Structure 1
Amino acid sequence: MRYGPAVRRRKLGAQLRALRAHAGLTSGEAARLVGWHQSKVSRIETGRSGVKPADVRRLLDAYDVRDPELHELLVVLAGSDGDGRRHWWHAYRGLLPSTYSDFISLEAQADSMRTLENSVVPGLLQTPEYAREVTRAVVGGTHGGKVDTLVEVRLARQAVLRSNKPLRLSAVLDEAVLRRNVGGPEVMAGQMAWLQEAARLPHVRIQVLPFGVGAHIGVSGPFVIFSFTNRSDLDVVVLDHLTSSLYLEQKDDLQLYEAAFDSARGQALSPGDTLDFIAGLADGA
């Protein structure tokens, strides 16, 4: 188990090592091609040191990697996009914990996201009013400026659901998420309406785990699984805590959490029944 930045370095390094091997090069030969010492290539491949986006591009060119999506993903793992431009969340550097920035970058590049939540509505599905109430509860009422910034970031993250190639989101919510009165009746009414609207998007799947199922795997805590098409070795599980996030990258961990999510999804209401359930709550049923 490692924290976000280390996970990114390790995943990037492992991918670069595999691409070098596929190109039939030793680390020494790769270093000579790009004009480096062999030790630099080794440090990058083992995740012991970070690597600049420009250096990733040099290595990918040296390995004759022509897949544009792979180019973009690996350069993003190094901290920027393929054109060298800064991502929107870089404007908040110094204001956001590094693990949160890591989470946002993974979210922005992932093909799909599976999330099991037992406490609050997932950030990508929150209304501005709901997000403000949740954020205020977490950081305290005396940090108005910080609340504003975090809410702004949370809402900006939701652009992944509206992009030309939107993130595929599958969310399993404990009934407690919908029953918890966050911000009062008006805020909850708006949140319920937005969940119903979001659930009708073709790339969003929302399911509710009703109280009637009793104990379920989600009672152990919420989690997120990010997946990348045809790149399962880049998949990662994120466990969120009050002051940090824990990133799990090992295959055994991924398999356990994927099985846990499938179990919860199997116990949950179908997407159609979930819409009816949310509508019933919104109507006061």
Structure 2
Amino acid sequence: MHYGPAVRRRKLGAELRTLRDRAGLTSGAAARLVGWHQSKVSRIETGRSAAKPADVRLLLDVYEVTDPQERALLEALAGSDDERGTRHQWWHAYKGLLPPEYRDFISLEAQAYRISTLETSVVPGLLQTPDYARAVTRAALDGVAQSRIDKFVEVRLARQEVLNGDPPLELSAVLDEAVLRRPVGGYQVMTRQLEWLVEVAQRPHVRLQVLPFAAGAHIGLTGPFVIFSFPNIADLDVVVLDHLTSSLYLERKEDLRAYSEAFNSLQEHALSAEDTLDFIAGTGGGA
């Protein structure tokens, strides 16, 4: 198990190693071409050292990688602020507020082209209304000053811009019925949240399904999770499990396969997207 930044270094390094092999170069040869010592290439490829965006660009030039989307993704994994082909990394403005794990989560979310998520307790952050987000944040940060809560809500709403991008993020979400029944923020707040779910679920790039209580026991009872999928490079896909004070990032192929199969199973047992809209509309304010 690894935490966000380590996952990013390892995945970036593994992909750079694959590209070097594809280019027919040894690590020593690659190092000579960019003017480095061979040990620097090795440290980057094994994830022991972080690569700067400029380092990544040099290696991609040597490996003759020309696809702009692939280059942008790999540069972003190194922490690039380059906006070409990626969404602007606005979250750096909140560096003093957000813990590193949360910033890394937002970074993955901004770079992904598809997210698959199971939620068992609350509406996914990308689908929350401002008042719902405020109620959830206030409950999670009990005792924190209102001004700080407002900043966290601001971040939560800014994250939602990925659904308005060009192209927009593809979002597939399975919600346990408990998410709809829990009156977060009170009747009015929950009613507006349910109305918003119905509205946003009708977008072509959003697929929302409810897993009703009638479905009985299911694999999702083990807890919520998020699967990030990236364009061009499937090996960069990541599963994220949220805990109270941190997030756990899973990168092994067997973990990715297990969670992908679990999500597919949950979708099969959940209501269809069409029936989900009717179900939410009939739920009311979480009563």
In the superposition, the TM-score normalised over structure 1's length comes to 0.97
What's the CA shift string for 1:151-190, capped at 9, x where partnerless? 1111000000001111100000000000001000110011
Residue 219 of structure 1: how far off its partner (Å): 1.1
Q: Separation in 2 of the partners of 1:90 and 1:80?
A: 11
Correspondent of 2:136 among 123, 134, 137: 134
Residue 81 of structure 1: how far off its partner (Å): 3.9
Q: Separation in 2 of the partners of 1:170 and 1:104?
A: 17
Q: Give the corresponding residue for 2:267.
A: 265
Q: Separation in 2 of the partners of 1:101 and 1:159?
A: 16
Q: Is the 8 A contact 1:72 1:81 kept in 2?
A: no
- Write the letter of the residue equivalent to 1:119: S
Q: Alignment length, in residue pairs?
A: 285
SS at match of 1:281: coil
Runs of 4+ deviating beyond 6 Å: none
What's the CA shift string for 1:79-133, capped at 9, x where partnerless? 1244599610011113111111111111111110000000000000000000000
Q: Separation in 2 of the partners of 1:231 and 1:109?
A: 12
SS at match of 1:8: helix
SS at match of 1:246: strand
Q: Give the corresponding residue for 2:51.
A: 51
Q: Is the 8 A contact 2:238 2:250 kept in 1?
A: yes
Q: Give the corresponding residue for 2:150.
A: 148
Q: Separation in 1 of the partners of 2:242 and 2:196?
A: 24
Q: Give the corresponding residue for 1:160.
A: 162
The 1:252–1:284 alpha-carbon spacing in structure 2 relative to 1, beyond 3 Å, is closer
The 1:264–1:252 alpha-carbon spacing in structure 2 relative to 1, beyond 3 Å, is same
What's the CA shift string for 1:11-66, capped at 9, x where partnerless? 00001111111111111111111111111110000000101111111111111110
Residue 284 of structure 1: how far off its partner (Å): 8.0
SS at match of 1:69: helix
Q: Separation in 1 of the partners of 2:96 and 2:37?
A: 33
Which consecutive residues of structure 2, in runs of 5 or more, have no partner in the other structure? none
Q: Separation in 2 of the partners of 1:274 and 1:202?
A: 15
SS at match of 2:282: helix
Q: Separation in 1 of the partners of 2:121 and 2:14?
A: 35
The 1:184–1:44 alpha-carbon spacing in structure 2 relative to 1, beyond 3 Å, is same
Correspondent of 2:186 among 175, 184, 187: 184
Q: Give the corresponding residue for 1:22.
A: 22
Q: Is the 8 A contact 1:172 1:208 kept in 2?
A: yes
